[in-house]
Amino acid sequence: MTAQDHLVPPLAALRHRRSAKWRSHPADVLPLPVAEMDFVLAEPVARALHAAIDRSDTGYAAPTRELAHALRGYAHRAWGWTIDPDHVRTVTDVGIGIVETLRRLVSPGDGVVLSPPVYEPFGWWIREVGAQPVEVPLATRPDGERRLDLDALEEAFAAPGTVAYLLCNPHNPLGLVHTRQELTVLAELADRYGVHVLSDEIHAPLTLPGAAFVPFLSVSEAARRRGFAFHSASKGWNLAGLKAATVVTADPAPKRYVDRFSPHALFRTGHLGVLATVAAYEHGDAWLAEIVTALDRNRRLLGELLARHVPDIGYRPPRAGFLAWLDFRRLRGEGWRDDPAAHLLGAARVAVTSGLGYGAEGRGFARLNFACAPDTLTEAVTRVATATTATTATTAPR
């Protein structure tokens, strides 16, 4: 037994879940792809949901300000950030919030900048509104750390036709936490060139010890003039299936775009999602702290396991979230260098997310979700190690 056992149901129980993570692969596959967590629900969230079911309270979300006020309270406690509830708009999920915002900002063919390797749907969302993705890859520092490439971003912002930048804050899949200094410069550049910044802050509640999340809209007047922030409890409290998120602004100019969302947008939000999110923001701090501790342990455990069993897989512990961006390019054998996720599924019966969806930057990489029991993580790395040994043995010169 480990200290974390009360947080994660046994694998046999997890296999009864009906969500995407647990129904996309046969039972012999260890699923560590899609960004759902294996942890049990936070007690206050479970209570709110059970109470709603007991009332048969499954209608539409009510037009109240409860969610905006709950987010305001949480953001203030967690990050010292003051939000005006009148500047919070409820939407179905972060994806819909970003797409609906982009729809009001772009004309067909406009450029929207993103920093790969980054959450794969960013590119889909930009294309969905008829805009062109403009890739400005993260810069690589001499020690291998990746950060926003502010010089290259300035060049892209200055180009004709660039209207917006999709910021992943914190950054999925690398778990980067951008600094106040970086965000301040980013906001200045955006303001100078008239570019809107859409800051996806969905992973922020899961910022891990040693890092401090900085809300984009908190950094400067320039950020508030240009920015939109997207928040949801769907990653932090594992509520993705319930469909509730928020768009936050902090200046009348960006708010005007959000005010043009369909008045029906609220009714496209999950009522249970709103109830659960309010419970998470108002009463979920203690549970979240336990989860952050568990994720902190798992990111270290993953590093130890890889160092011991497969040291050729490159790994930098993320500073936020539960995703590990693994570099397989040093492994011998074509399968590892091209699409290691496909190779792992066949050879190790471990499902991770392919790096190929992250653009050219993702070739030879895979994304592993470590929001699971330590035993599951250990089993996954053991399987990967066995598969790499087998492949190396068959591909090594005789």
The SS3 of residue 331 is coil
Beta strands in 111-248 (DSSP E): 111-114, 132-135, 139-140, 146-147, 162-168, 196-200, 227-231, 245-248
Q: Among 30, 32, 70, 94, which residue interacts with ligand PLP (rule: CB under 6 A)?
A: 94
Q: Does 95 bind ligand PLP (CB under 6 A)?
A: yes
Q: Does 200 bind ligand PLP (CB under 6 A)?
A: yes
Q: How many CB atoms sit inside 10 A of residue 228's CB?
A: 27
Pairwise CA distance, residues 358 & 123, whole Å? 9
Nearest C-alpha neighbor of 199 from the set 190, 208, 207: 190
By CB under 6 A, tell whether 168 contacts ligand PLP: yes
Interface segment toward ligand PLP; rule CB under 6 A; list 1-9, 92-100, 180-188, 250-258: 92-100
Mark the segment that binds ligand PLP (CB under 6 A) among 47-55, 89-97, 154-162, 181-189.
89-97
Among the listed ranges 93-101, 278-286, 303-311, 344-352, the one in contact with ligand PLP (CB under 6 A) is 93-101
The conformational region for residue 133 under phi > 0 = left, psi -120 to 50 = alpha, else beta, is: beta
- Binders of ligand PLP among 10-39, rule CB under 6 A? 35
Handedness of CA 81, 82, 87, 90 (dihedral sign): positive
Closest distance to ligand PLP from the beta carbon of 351 (Å): 16
Q: Smallest gap, in angstroms, from Cβ of residue 271 to ligand PLP?
A: 16
- In this structure, what token pair is assigned to residue 247? 């768009």
Q: Does 234 bind ligand PLP (CB under 6 A)?
A: yes
Q: How many residues does the chain have?
A: 398
Give the pairing of strands 162-168 and 111-114: parallel
Q: Judged by CB under 6 A, does residue 172 bind ligand PLP?
A: yes
Stretch of 90-98, 212-220, 286-294, 360-368 lying at the interface with ligand PLP (CB under 6 A): 90-98
The verdict on 245 binding ligand PLP (CB under 6 A) reads yes
Binding mask 114-133 for ligand PLP (x = CB under 6 A): -----x--------------
# chain residues binding ligand PLP, by CB under 6 A: 13
Comparison of 67 and 387: residue with beta carbon closer to ligand PLP = 67
Q: Name the residue nearer to ligand PLP (CB basis): 234 or 376.
A: 234
Question: Can you count the helices (H) and strands (E) in the chain?
Answer: 15, 14
CA distance 70 to 359: 37
Note whether 166 and 126 are within 8 A (CB): yes
Rule CB under 6 A: which residues touch ligand PLP? 35, 93-95, 119, 168, 172, 200, 202, 232, 234, 240, 245
